[in-house]
Structure 1
Amino acid sequence: MKRISSLFLFLFICATLLAQNEASFWYFGQNAGVRFDADLGTVTAVTDGQLSTLEGCTSISDEDGNLLFYSDGSTIWNRNHQVMLNGTGLKGDDSSTSSGLIVPKPQDPTFYYLFTVDEPHHNNTSAFPTMSANDGINDGFMYSRINILDDGGLGAVDATEKNVPLVTYDPTNQLESELKCSEKITAVRADDCSSFWVLTHFGDTFYAFKIDENGVNTTPVTSTVGPNIPVEGYRRNALGYLKASPDGTKLISANFGESTILNEDAGGGIYLFDFNNDTGVVSNPLEIYSAQNNNSPYGVEFSAENRKAYATIGFGPGGGGTSQVLQWDLESADIPNSLQVIHTSNTISAGALQLGIDRRIYRAQFSFVGDNNVSRYLGVIENPEADGNDIIYNEQGVFLSTNPLGLNTSRIGLPPFIQSLFNSQTDIIRNGISTTELRLCTGDSYTLQADDLLGADYVWSFNGVPIAGNNQAELFVDTPGFYEVFIEPNNGECPIEGSAVVGIFEIPVANPLTDVTLCDDNFNDGVTEFLFTDKNQEALLNQDTQSFIVGYYESLDDATNKENEISLPYTNISNPQTIYVRVDNINNTNCFDINSFEIDVFDTPQIADINDEIFCDNFGDPTDGIAEIDLNTLIPNILGQQDESQINVTFHNTQNDADIGNAPVALNYINTDAFNETIFIRAENTLNSACFRTRAFNLIVNPIPEANDVSVLQCDEDGIPEGFTVFNINQLLDDITGGNPQVNVDYYLSQADADTESNPIEGDAFENFVNPQVIIARITNPSTGCFDFCEVSLEVSLTETNDASLTACDDDGQEDGFTSFQLSDADG
Structure 2
Amino acid sequence: MKKAILLLLTLVISFSVTAQEESSWWVFGRRAAIEFTPNPQNRSALPLIANSTIDQDEGVGTISDENGNLLFFTDGQTIFNRNGDPMPNGTGLLGGTSATQAAIIIKAPETAGVYFVFTAGNGNTSPMVYSRVEMALNGGLGDVVPGVKNIVLLAASSEKLAATIQTGSNNAYVMTFGRSNATSVSTGSGDNNALFAWEVRGIAGPNVSFVLPAPIAQSANGGLPYFSTPLAATNGDRGMLRVSPDGTKLAIGTQNLTNQGLFLYDFNPGNGQFSGAGLQLDNGPVYGVEFSPSSQYLYHDISSSFSPTATSNRKLVQYDLCDQANIISSRNEFADITGGSRGTLQLGRDGIIYVTRWDQSWLGSINPETANPVYNPTAIDISPGQAQQGLPVFVQSSFASSFTVNDQCQGDATEFVLACLPQVAASNWDFGDGNTRMVTGPGIVTNTYASAGTFTVTVNVTNVSGDVRDFTQDITIYENGIVDPVDVTLLDYCDDDNSGDEIVDLSQFTSDVLGTQDAATFNISYYANSVDADAGQNPLPLNYNATLGSNTIWVRIENNTSPINDGCSAIGSFVLTVSSVPTVSNIPDYEICDDVSQDGVEDFDLASFLPTIAAQAGNPVDVDYTIHESQADADMNMGAIDTTVPYTNTMSPQVLYVRLQNINDIDCFGTAPFNLVVLNAPTLGTVANIEVCDDAPLDGSSDFTLSDQDATVANGSTGIVTYHATQADAESGAAALPNVYTVSGTETIYARFVNDAGCSGTTSFDITVQAAPAIGNAPDLTNICDGSVDLNQNLFELSVQDTAVLNGLNPADYTISYYTTDSDAQNATNALPLSYTVPFQSGVTTDLLFARLENNTTGCFNTSQFTIIFERCEIVFPEGFSPNNDGINDTFSIPGLAEQYNNFTLQIFNRNGTVVYETSASNYEEFAGIPNKGALAGDGLLPVGTYFYVIQYNDQDEEDTASWVYINY
The TM-score normalised by the length of structure 1 is 0.48
Q: Higher RCO, 1 or 2 (CA under 8 Å, sep at least 6)?
A: 1
Name which one, 1 or 2, has greater alpha-carbon Rg: 2
